[in-house]
Amino acid sequence: MQVGVFAKTFPGSEPTGVLAAVRDAGFAATQFNLACAGLPSMPDAVPDAAIDTVGAAAKATGISLVALSGTYNMAHPDSRMRQDGLRRLAVVIETAARLSIPLVTLCTGTRNAEDQWAYHPDNSDPTAWADMAREMEKALRLAERHGIDLGIEPEQANIVTSAEDAIRLIGEMGSKRLRIVLDPANLFERANAEQARSIVAEAVECVAGHVSLA
């Protein structure tokens, strides 16, 4: 296991400076975000020069790029917004492949049109799951084409809220490219210490063998 940190933990939009800060904080691995290279997190395009700069910065600092952020609202109520997000995800996946980053992280989305991390009561409607699943199928086709894994995180405000939901989606998709990003803090909203330990332990047991990032 490598202990890493989000690159966006550190300020800056120049890759060498950001990755040097990661190194100086004692880490050897990071989840990168294209904002750390002066681009939107989900850009329309990534110039060759930007890819060269990120790759050179990783080599110069010795930091391993283990994941790349590629989040958009995969359950947005407006299909045009989902289509635009998928288009941008294709750019991120291609960038990950060119930088030999093995994992792109996703957001399974919400019916909240304003905030992809905010709960909406329609999240539990079967149509929300269906829209997200259709989007995931398209994303996996892109990932498989480029040899990249996709990571989904159970999140209380999103469509996939639990370890069980994540395993259900992996089963429905039937792709070894779909992996899990496990953040125990996002498995519950309120719990005492005993309840939290139980929830986390059960989740770890449930997703064993499917976790790429925790």
Give pLDDT tens digits for 100-115: 999 999 999 999 999 9
How is 142-192 classified by DSSP, letter by letter?
Answer: HHHHHT-EEEE---TTSS--SHHHHHHHHHHHT-TTEEEE--GGGS-SS--
pLDDT of residue 107: 95
- What separation in angstroms does the CA of 121 have from each of 72, 112, 158? 19, 9, 10
Architecture of domain 70-214: Alpha-Beta Barrel (3.20)
Residue 163 burial class via C-beta count within 10 angstroms: exposed 0-12, middle 13-18, buried 19 and up: buried
pLDDT of residue 94: 98
H-helix or E-strand containing 75? none
pLDDT tens, residue by residue, 20-48: 999 999 999 999 999 999 999 999 999 99
Q: Is residue 84 very low, low, confident or very high in pLDDT (cuts 50, 70, 90)? A: very high
The residue type of 127 is T
Q: What is the mean pLDDT of the chain?
A: 97
pLDDT tens, residue by residue, 115-143: 999 999 999 999 999 999 999 999 999 99
Which percentage of the chain shows pLDDT scores above 70? 100
CB atoms within 10 A of CB 200: 17
pTM of the model: 0.96
pLDDT of residue 38: 97
Domain ranges of the chain: 1-69, 70-214
Between CA 68 and CA 22 the distance in angstroms is: 15
**Given a cut of 90, is residue 1 above it in pLDDT?**
no
pLDDT of residue 181: 97
**Given a cut of 90, is residue 75 above it in pLDDT?**
yes
Helix (H, G, I), strand (E, B) or coil at 31: strand
pLDDT tens, residue by residue, 159-197: 999 999 999 999 999 999 999 999 999 999 999 999 999
Taking the CA of residue 91 as centre, how many other CA atoms within 13 Å lie in the half-sphere pointing to its CB? 20
Q: Is residue 211 very low, low, confident or very high in pLDDT (cuts 50, 70, 90)? A: very high
182 — phi, psi (to 5°)? -110, 110
